[in-house]
Structures are given as structure tokens and as C-alpha cells.
Amino acid sequence: MQTTVLAWPRIVTGIARMSKSAVDVAMVGVAVGTSAVAGVGFAGPFWGLAFAIGGGVAGGTIALVSQRYGAEAYDELGLAVRSSTVLVIVASAPVVAVFWLFPTELISVLSSNESAIEYGARYLQIVALGIPFAGLNLVGSRILVGADDSYTAMQVRAGGAVANIGLNAVFIFGLGWGVAGAALGTVLSNVAVTAAFAAGLCAGRFPGIGAFPVRVDPTGAYFDGETLRDLVTIGLPVGGRNLVWTVAEFPMLGILDLFGENTVAAFVIARRIWGLMNAPGWGFGLASSSLVGQALGKNDEATAKAYGRDIIRFAVATYVVSAILIAVFAEHIVVLFAEDPTSAEIPIAVDLVYAACVAVVFQGVAGAAAGPLDASGDTRVPFASQFLGMFCGSIPLAYLGATTGLGYWGLYLAFLAETTIPAAINYWRFRTDKWKAISQSYRPEAAAADD
């Protein structure tokens, strides 16, 4: 029951965010065309750095917040929140500067298609301004989930996603700003969500939403050596895990460019649909991190493992249902992303979606098994598993597809390798119970005093 209560709002949030991303691509495709979709796709891995940076810090945040919330160590909880805010801003500022100053040069690394480069650079330069806010949104969400309240986080972030879709419709179609409008809508919606989280956490409530589970004093200390070290130690591998896919997109898009513009556009469409299918994993992963972390904060390791085991089973069952539904309606979904339903990328994208439907079931195992590891601070293994899946499995298979007779089968197998390898490794690590011992060094002093 607790898993469902925590997970379903996060799943709704994920669906809203991925729907927003999918609608962005669909709007750009309908309004501008295939080259614009490819351009936004080339800008995607750079924008993904926002989630690598913010997600890394947020990984440390939810581990520390959930354990301190479970142990009722609220002063330490506030310190973790303030320190997380500082880390996101400091880490993201240089990235924003580089993307703003050199967008064309960066997109040119991935493609020689002049039209796609122009669209991608225009999108990247504007969307770069939203990177710090996107990172802070992740931290804000993890604070609430770690404190047993994913519903409030859902209201704030899903509301931002809906606002983003509305802004994009106005900017892209109403004002005719194309990819620049899509980027601006993303930036403004992220600013609004950050403001809502900040106001709610400082006041303990937000108008129209209600009470927040925790209240954080904004005038407290922001620089505590031990807290910052814990956030970096836990969060760096989480950020690295998020960065794996972001970095892998660079060679992947370069490989896809060998297939041609239509394959790049098809892959971008398939990844957006993949994101929708993967939305339940965020809910289960964060629910697992929160519940497992709270149990560890109370030194109840048996309950922590029980939560982790049940959530893995629940996640797999949900992913199977999601994959079947998407596979049945794949053709109808893909055509929504194209200006012309008969365009060449449509059949390619449909086949890629079928491959994604098989692979995403294993993503359910990988994500849910990583939840207990993240909660305990054992974040290096999920990072290593994601790295092996992408760079030792997915990327080589895609390259073989582009350069040998393997063809598109290389891309289908690349989807599968991306998820099966992390699933096997993360589940093995969960079964070893080593994460329980690792968690002891991150548990709050209040819990340790009760031993």
C-alpha cells in the first residue's frame, strides 16, 4: 500500500513530463518538419546534462532526506536541502555558459546536416538557461518524496509540465517561433516550478496545493563539510549514471547520422515514446528509495529489504502491461510525431518502438533494483551497470548495425543491451545485501544514538 501511495503520483509526474517532451517533438515536427525534429534530437544530450547534474545531487538528497526523515532528525534534513541547492547552482553555471556561447559548435560535433545544426543550435542556446532550474526541480521533488509526500511533488511538477505544453502551443503555433518557442516554453515552465518548490519549502505550504511535509529555514547554514561530502559521495555515481546515457547519446546520434536523417528522426521519436513507457520506473525507483531509506534510518534492515523486493515485483508487472499497450498502438502513436503520416521515418520508428517494448521490461528490473541501492548510498554499482550496458553493449551493437549487414537489427539489439545488462547487475547487487552495511555510514546521528 505504501509503495502505491508513493509511486503513483511520481508515475503521473513522469507521464506528464514525458508527454510534454513527446508533445514538444510532435509540435516541432508538425510545425517545422523532419530537420527540426532531428535538430532538437541533436540538442537532447546537451539538455540531458541538466538531469545528470541535478539528478546526481538529487540522488544524494533523497538518501539523506529519507533517512533523516525516518529518524526525525529535522535539523540535519534542512542542512541537506540547503547544501543540495548550492551544489546544483555551482555545478550547472559553467554548463549554461558553454551552451550559450558555443551552441553551433557543439551541435556540429554530432552532424553535418546544416539545417539540423541550425535548428539544434537555436534550441540549445535558449534551453540552456533552464538547466539550473531543471536541476533544482529534481532536488525539490526528491525532498518531498524522501519525506513521504510524492503527491505534492506531483502537483508541482505535473502542473509545470502542463504549463509547458500550453506555452509551447502559443510560442510554436501562435507566434510561429518554432524550435525557439519550444525551448523558451521549457525554460519558463522550469522557472515557475522552481519558484513553487522554493516558496512551499520555505513557508511549509503553497497556495492551492496545501501543506508541505517539511519546512526548511532558508537562513540556516548552506556550507557544511560533512553534508557536502555525503552528497557528493552518494550523488556523484548517480550523476554519472544519468550522464552515461547523456554521453552515450553523442556517439549514438553520430552513428544514427550514418543511417540518414530519417533514422535520426525515427530514433528521436522512439526515445520519446520510450520515455513514456519508462515513467513508472521513476515512481517505483523513488518510492523504493524513500521507503527503504526511512526503514534504514530507523535501523530496520529487514523491512528495508522487504520494501525493495516487493517494489521490484510490482515494477516488472506494471512494465509488462505498459509494453503491451504501447506495442498494440505503436503505429497510431508514431504518426502523431510527423508532419506527413507517409514520411520515411514512420516505419523505422514503429520498428524501434517494438524493440523498445521488449527492452523496457528489463528497465523495470534495473530501475526498481537501483532504488534500495540509492537509498543506502551504494550508488557505484548502478552507475557501473549503466555504463557497461551503454558503452559495452548498446553503442557497439548500434555501430555494427551502421557498418555491417546487421543493419537495423543493430539498433533493436542496442535497445535490449541497454536494459538487460543493468537489470542483471543491479538485481544481483540487491540480493547480496552489501548495501545494508554501506548505509550505516550515512545514517543520521539521531538513529545511531538509539542503538
DSSP letters spanning 255-321:
HHHHH-HHHHHHHHHHHHHHHHHHHHHHHHHHHHHHHHHHHHHTT-HHHHHHHHHHHHHHHHHHHHH
Query: What local confidence, expressed as pLDDT, does residue 385 receive?
Result: 92
Average pLDDT taken over every residue of the chain: 79
Instruction: Give the mean model confidence (pLDDT) for residues 57-75.
Output: 74
Do residues 320 and 377 touch, judged by C-beta distance below 8 A? no
Q: Report residue 416's pLDDT band, with 50, 70 and 90 as the boundaries.
A: very high
Which pTM value belongs to this model? 0.66
d(CA 199, CA 203): 6
Q: Identify the top-confidence range among 67-71, 72-76, 97-101.
A: 97-101
Q: Has residue 203 got a pLDDT over 80?
A: yes
Q: Given a cut of 50, is residue 447 above it in pLDDT?
A: no
Q: Among the listed ranges 94-103, 240-249, 299-308, 397-406, which one has the minimum average pLDDT value?
A: 240-249
Tell me: the pLDDT tens digits for 126-164? Answer: 888 888 898 888 888 888 877 777 778 777 887 888 888
Query: Each residue of 172-189: pLDDT tens digit?
Result: 777 878 778 888 888 898
394 secondary structure, DSSP code:
I
Categorize the per-residue pLDDT at 449 as very low, low, confident or very high, splitting at 50, 70 and 90.
Answer: very low
Share of the chain above pLDDT 70, in %: 84
**DSSP for residue 224:** -
Q: Tell me the per-residue pLDDT of 353-403, one tens digit each, with 9 for 90 and over.
A: 999 999 999 988 898 888 888 778 787 888 899 899 999 999 999 999 989
